[in-house]
């Protein structure tokens, strides 16, 4: 192999070669795990968005029902509401 390098030098060269061979494999594994994490985050964000949208529409429906239930039915109700709340 290398006759002028000591035993520790040979071990260091072998370890450096092994690390150099493992780098592409580690890179591929890291990218795959990173893409899984990104997909998970995207799905979680989509679920949160849908929950917020559902809550928004639920609130809008409740407010719409409250407005309809408080709507004046005749002249007396209208005049009473105007006296209490104004325009």
* Amino acid 3: pLDDT: 63
What are the tens digits of pLDDT across the range 34-80?
888 899 999 999 999 999 999 999 988 888 777 666 666 788 887 88
pLDDT at 2 over 80: no
**For the chain, counts of helices (H) and of strands (E):** 2, 0
* Amino acid 68: pLDDT: 66
Domain-by-domain residue ranges, the chain? 16-85
Average of per-residue pLDDT across 8-19:
92
* Amino acid 6: pLDDT: 82
Of 8-12, 20-24, 60-64, the range with the lowest mean pLDDT is 60-64
Cα dihedral 24, 28, 29, 32 in deg (nearest 10): 170
């Amino acid at each position: 192999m290398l006759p002028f390098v000591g035993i520790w030098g040979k071990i260091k060269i072998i370890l450096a070669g092994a690390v150099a061979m493992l780098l592409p494999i580690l890179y591929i594994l890291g990218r795959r795990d990173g893409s899984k994490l990104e997909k998970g985050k995207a799905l979680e964000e989509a679920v949160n968005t849908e929950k917020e949208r559902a809550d928004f529409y639920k609130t809008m429906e409740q407010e719409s029902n409250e407005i309809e239930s408080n709507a004046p039915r005749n002249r007396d109700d209208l005049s009473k509401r105007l006296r209490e709340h104004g325009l």
